Chains A and B, each alone.
Chain A
Amino acid sequence: MNIEQFLLKAKELGFSATVEPWIEAKKVKGADLAFLSPLKTDLQWQLLFKALMQLIEARTSYTDSLKNLELISDLILMGHEETLFEQSHDFAKWSVHLRALRYPATTKRDDQLKDKLEKLPWPYGSKTKFERRGDRAGIELKMFITSEADLIKAISSLERVKDQIGAE
């Protein structure tokens, strides 16, 4: 996919007024859009440009735009149409929705793991945040320790967490 072909398609389908300035502003190159080459039909391209309009409107960064466009392109090829645009009024929620569509099994497993991990007896006053980092998912744990006594209590809580995980 080169930029000229991309812009031509945008023009054909009536999206060039928004797409052209975006390409220019974000300095998008043909290689950045390599994932678009399997799109064939006008319906597929229309869905793609409609999604791009939403991303432009949400003022997403260059990286977020391309990452989400690739997800969207996969989803279009998988046969998604209107389901793509659920939650699209709020970029943060939309992004989560798109990932859930593209990675349904992982999303389900992550949700179950999150539920399980969040119910564990983490140390009092600590903050937990469930995260997926690449191919691994887990809890980020933050604690503020001011004394040896704090530390002993935290270790004791973590021992209980370990025992509970081990018992399952």
Chain B
Amino acid sequence: MAPNNSLPVFKKIYIDRCSENSEVAARVRSLYPVEIIEVVESGFLASQRGPMTAEEFNLSKQTLLLTEFKGQFFKRCPGATQKKTLTCCNYHVLNLGSQCNMNCSYCYLQSYLNTKMSLIYTNIDQALEELKAMINEFPNHPFRVGTGEIIDSLSLDEITLYSRKLIEFFKPYPKWVLEFKTKSNKVDQFIDIPGADNITVSWSINPPYIIDREEHGTARFHERIEAAKKCRDQGYKLAFHIDPMIYHPEWKENYGFLVDEITSTFTPEEVQIISIGTLRYQPEQRHMMRDRFGVQSLVVGAEMFPSEGNKLRYDATLRGEMLSFVFKRLKSKSEKWNAFFCMETPETWISAIEKVPMQVPELKDMFKPLPVVGT
């Protein structure tokens, strides 16, 4: 269980009084120098809320607060709440913290977060109780639960070790699928636990050309592939999210390489799903990105237009071409690769593969409506 490389860097770590005796607080004290740790009274978090400047957003990645979450942990993926405009899978999220210690230029957290520090929620037991109640109510519904929506599932996991608790929790419920979604290569902290068919470790992945330019502080391409191999070898299911695809003149060559690497390293049986999406972001995010990464970034300098659902996206025809290219390349390797488009409109599905998900037998189950919980 030794960490596979250096610990996440924080300049300051606050511990909310209510989390002082938590397991995570004890672990933080054992891993970080005492000089950077300070216990704060309840109410501290409220004082850290508000809109952030680019500078404050940068700083929020270097400051950590351990606290308890007071709301509902289990929620539907934001895409699923836009069913009128988007065709979305039944993804649910379990938020065990917020903010990310990596720094992708396109990250949607730039327009989403309003807390001037990274958060780790220490009351995971409460989250598991909430989940347990849901599972008892719907034990046979195929819920997919991800922990990587507003925080990377694994990049801070050496601190929390939540992966270990979650894996053991989900194993007895084979219909419910747990997904860790990451851009890190931090898997050593749980790799001694044998995998199961309902535990998926997934990588959000881009070609090396894009990772090097736009995904700062993340694991490099081959580091992610190596980590995926370790998980595969231990019996975990895998998933890849080729998302967001970023347009650049050599996009076909680079995304072709990416697909070839995945399909030559893994088999369709080892990889449960591959989701594909193109760059998209809320219009208000563009100012923060311009400030933080400059117009030379392929993301900031991209040609983006308002689309259904109000997000900025590439031209619809180009988007269809990009999605279709990756989809067809995957299928050319084997029809068994299970791929779908993330947060896309029915029109784009039709322009890319001439079908909507409910007409694709292997995707039907994933897109079939589930009971609405955690809106």
Are A135 and B294 closer than 8 Å at their CB atoms?
no
Q: Does A63 belong to the interface (CB within 8 Å)?
A: no
Digit string of A12-55 for contact with B (CB within 8 Å is 1, else 0)? 00000000000000000000001101100000000000000000
Are B315 and A35 closer than 8 Å at their CB atoms?
no
Q: Does B301 belong to the interface (CB within 8 Å)?
A: yes
Interface set of A (CB-CB < 8 Å, partner B)? 34-35, 37-38, 74, 77-78, 102-106, 109, 113, 132, 134-137
Residue of B nearest to A35 (CB): B287
- Could you say which of A35, A104, A109, A132 contacts B318, with CB atoms under 8 Å apart? A109
Which interface residue of B301, B305, B306 has the most chain A CB atoms within 10 A?
A: B305
Q: 13 additional contacts, CB 8 Å, given A37-B287, A135-B316, A137-B317?
A: A35-B286, A35-B290, A74-B295, A103-B303, A104-B303, A105-B303, A106-B303, A109-B318, A132-B305, A135-B305, A135-B306, A135-B314, A135-B315
Residue of A nearest to B249 (CB): A105
Q: Does B212 belong to the interface (CB within 8 Å)?
A: no
Per the bound structure, the CA–CA distance linking A66 and B42 in Å amounts to: 43
Give the number of A-B contacts (CB < 8 Å): 50
Q: Offer 23 A-B interface pairs, CB within 8 angstroms, sorted by A.
A: A34-B287, A35-B287, A37-B291, A38-B290, A74-B301, A77-B290, A77-B294, A77-B295, A102-B303, A103-B303, A105-B303, A106-B305, A113-B317, A132-B305, A134-B305, A135-B306, A135-B313, A135-B314, A135-B316, A136-B315, A136-B316, A137-B315, A137-B317
Q: Does B307 belong to the interface (CB within 8 Å)?
A: yes
Closest 10 CB pairs of A and B: A135-B305, A135-B307, A134-B306, A77-B295, A34-B287, A103-B303, A135-B316, A136-B316, A106-B303, A134-B305
Given A38-B294, A78-B295, A135-B306, A109–B287 Cβ distance below 8 Å? no
CB contacts (< 8 Å) of A102 on chain B: these are: 303
CB contacts (< 8 Å) of A106 on chain B: these are: 303, 305, 315, 318
Given A35-B287, A78-B301, A109–B315 Cβ distance below 8 Å? yes
User: Taking the nearest CB of chain B, how far is it from the CB of A111, in angstroms?
Assistant: 13
Per the bound structure, the CA–CA distance linking A132 and B314 in Å amounts to: 13
Q: Does B319 belong to the interface (CB within 8 Å)?
A: yes
